[in-house]
A = this chain, B = another copy of it.
Amino acid sequence: MKKVSISDIARKAGVSVSTVSFVMNDKAVKMRISREVIERVEHVAREMGYRPNQLARGLRTGKTKTIGLIVENISNSFFATLAKSIEDEAKKYDYKVVYCSTDNDEEKARELINMLSQRQVDGYIITPTLNLSEDIRRLQAENKPVVLVDRYFPQHEEIPAVLVDNYEGVSRGMEYLYDKGYRKIALVTIETEMAHMKDRIRAYSDVLSRHGVQPDERLVRIVPYNSDRESALKEVLQLLSASGTDIDAVFFLTNYLGVLGIEAIKKLQIKVPDQLAVLCFDDNDIFRLYTPTISVIRQPIEAIGQQAVSTLMERLKHTGDDAYPVHAPLRLEADLVKRESV
């Protein structure tokens, strides 16, 4: 059974391919094609089970109605939720989404951009890795709009970005811990040069300074990026069991670290929040169900996805318009979810 093409329909309906094309694209009325022909063509098309070949259409029109989405890792719950929200939102605009994971590898990210570009996606939503700004500018130069999500390049305001307000979110969390009387607040973060994490760390230090507290190096643990689960866990265990530091609270700067933290706390049998208060950036089902429940700064994932799509759609409409306004990253507010761990 071969796929049926427009010319098969034309032959069977006794009209030209142009006529069929006009009917299939709802341009029949504009082209003043007779009611009778329209109906005949539609009937034949349905009968033969016609499905337009989008490859051919894309080749001809230069538009594929497809968004390329590049995330760090689709199996991570944050990105999976983000991807779903982008897929659902894009559908409203009649766009499809093709997604893929970088595993936070620069080279892989480049390959993916390359692959999506070859498939002629109309625009991109990207969770960038480091050093990707040149590749992204090249896309923009080819008139392919790009919107960053979750991360951004501070020195490149011409690349729009949608993300949570990291600085504000961590500040809020820190103030909350401070208000509750905690003074020896430890921080667990991941080693990276990316600006979104630097913003989070900066908020931690700034809040401490504002309260006249000297940041204590021993309270900050930076997990190397490529450490496997085991060694990362070891780092956290070390921090939490170190004597002489008197930690009374710990702030995990990512979801993944928070989960490791829970494991460490469980292993060390630390009583939360009596011996140690726990706060995490980014929510997770586990935090809601763990005993005690873990307080978090929650990112508005759905809203990030929706805004990313609508920003991209805006750009897609203005394609070729060089004077398109430059924006600072769009920062959405995070929620402080108070639970039992603080």
* Interface positions of A (Cβ within 8 A of B): 1-3, 51-56, 58-59, 64, 73-77, 80-81, 83-85, 87, 96-101, 114-115, 117-120, 141-143, 259, 262-263, 266, 284-286, 289-291
Task: Decide if A285 touches B266 in the complex (CB within 8 Å).
Answer: no
Choose from B51, B59, B83, B142 the contact partner of A3 (Cβ within 8 Å). B142
Choose from B53, B77, B142, B284 the contact partner of A1 (Cβ within 8 Å). B142
Contacts of A115 in B (CB 8 A): 96
Chain B residue nearest in CB terms to A2: B142
Task: Decide if B84 touches A259 in the complex (CB within 8 Å).
Answer: no
Choose from B56, B58, B81, B291 the contact partner of A75 (Cβ within 8 Å). B81
A94 to chain B, nearest CB (A): 10
A307 to B28, CA, bound (A): 48
Task: Decide if B73 touches A84 in the complex (CB within 8 Å).
Answer: yes
13 A-B pairs whose Cβ atoms sit less than 8 Å apart in the complex? A1-B142, A53-B120, A55-B120, A74-B83, A74-B87, A84-B101, A96-B98, A96-B100, A96-B115, A97-B100, A259-B285, A286-B290, A290-B290
A161 to chain B, nearest CB (A): 22
Task: Decide if B286 touches A118 in the complex (CB within 8 Å).
Answer: no
A106 to chain B, nearest CB (A): 17
Task: Decide if B120 touches A54 in the complex (CB within 8 Å).
Answer: yes
Task: Decide if B118 touches A51 in the complex (CB within 8 Å).
Answer: yes
A266 to B77, CA, bound (A): 23
Task: Decide if B118 touches A54 in the complex (CB within 8 Å).
Answer: yes
Task: Decide if B101 touches A87 in the complex (CB within 8 Å).
Answer: yes
Known: A101-B87, A120-B53, A289-B259. A74 touches B74 (CB 8 A): yes
A142 to B1, CA, bound (A): 5
Contacts of A114 in B (CB 8 A): 51
Known: A75-B80, A266-B289, A286-B290; 14 extra A-B contacts, CB below 8 A, are A1-B142, A2-B142, A3-B142, A51-B117, A53-B120, A55-B58, A56-B59, A80-B80, A96-B98, A96-B100, A98-B98, A259-B285, A290-B290, A290-B291
Task: Decide if B289 touches A118 in the complex (CB within 8 Å).
Answer: no
Contacts of A285 in B (CB 8 A): 259, 284-286
Task: Decide if A75 touches B64 in the complex (CB within 8 Å).
Answer: no
